Amino acid sequence: MSASEPNLPLAPVALVIGAGDATGGAIARRFARGGLTACVIRRNADKVQGLVDAIRAEGFAAIGFGADARKEDDVVALVEKIESEVGPIEVLVFNIGANVPSSILEETSRKYFKIWEMACLGGFLFGREVAKRMVTRTRGTIIFTGATASLRGAAKFAAFAGAKHALRALAQSMARELGPMNIHVAHVVVDGAIDTEFIRSNFPERYALKAQDGILNPDHIAENYWYLHCQPRDAWTHEIDLRPWSERF
């Protein structure tokens, strides 16, 4: 576990777990523009350096860390390091995907468990550790990224659907417990293809729908996360679903 620049003045933090090149990166950039220090996390710290550099080039604050969200000791140590050296975590976004298809006839217990660790256990570990700090300050926002699989299990996605169903249940339970403590817990169902290099390279026909607003723009997804964070508590949203106008549901 490492930080690219740990010795910065204490400032409110947006902690983004799974800060990749698309949705996670867009969310980190949006919260940085909103005045928070974006602490961006991937398993390999080198893979977030480009995002950190891009946010800093725009004049905003960002720090990159490497940590395995499945390992409790890593999570506990990272949250403590950020709270003590960077600033109070005002926002947690858990954005790990783990979308790995496999026929139930070929799925292994090892891979099934690994997908659950990535998509659900990591959310529990980060959610618990951050919530412990937030309750002492009686404020904060925790947002979990869900998927179509959070609502229904498609063929060949048993592991992913099971993990995402569990993450949704975790979010519901946390919202009911932590809401009275002034901590807003939300779950975002992202239902549809996202404008990423993976979609562009592997599904060119789907990517062609971009010209018709037929795939999700990561920046537009990020605006909804910012909106959730800024909601007044008399009108909090727990669950929101985002999909292109043309997506069936």
What DSSP line would sit under 157-201, residue for residue? Answer: BHHHHHHHHHHHHHHHHHHHHHGGGTEEEEEEEE-S-BS-HHHHH
pTM recorded for the entire structure: 0.93
Say what the pLDDT of residue 9 is. Answer: 54
Domains and CATH numbers, the chain: 13-241 (3.40.50.720)
| DSSP codes joined into one string, 54-72 | HHHHTT--EEEEE--TT-H
Q: Which two tokens stand for residue 14?
A: 């947006």
CA distance 218 to 165: 23
Nearest to 15 by CA among 127, 173, 118: 127
Say what the pLDDT of residue 4 is. Answer: 46
Low-confidence ranges of the chain (pLDDT < 50): 1-4, 6, 8
DSSP state of 40: E
The pairing of beta strand 13-17 with beta strand 140-147: unpaired
Q: Which amino acid is it at 21?
A: D
CA distance 140 to 93: 11
Say what the pLDDT of residue 91 is. Answer: 98
Cα 208–218–76 angle (5° rounding)?
Answer: 140
User: Dmax over Cα atoms in the chain, in whole Å?
Assistant: 53
Name the strands in the sheet holding 37-42, side by side, starting at the edge strand that comes first in the sequence.
62-66, 37-42, 13-17, 89-94, 140-147, 183-190, 239-242
Say what the pLDDT of residue 197 is. Answer: 85
| Residue entry with tokens 């679903």 | 241
Q: Which two tokens stand for residue 85?
A: 């050296």
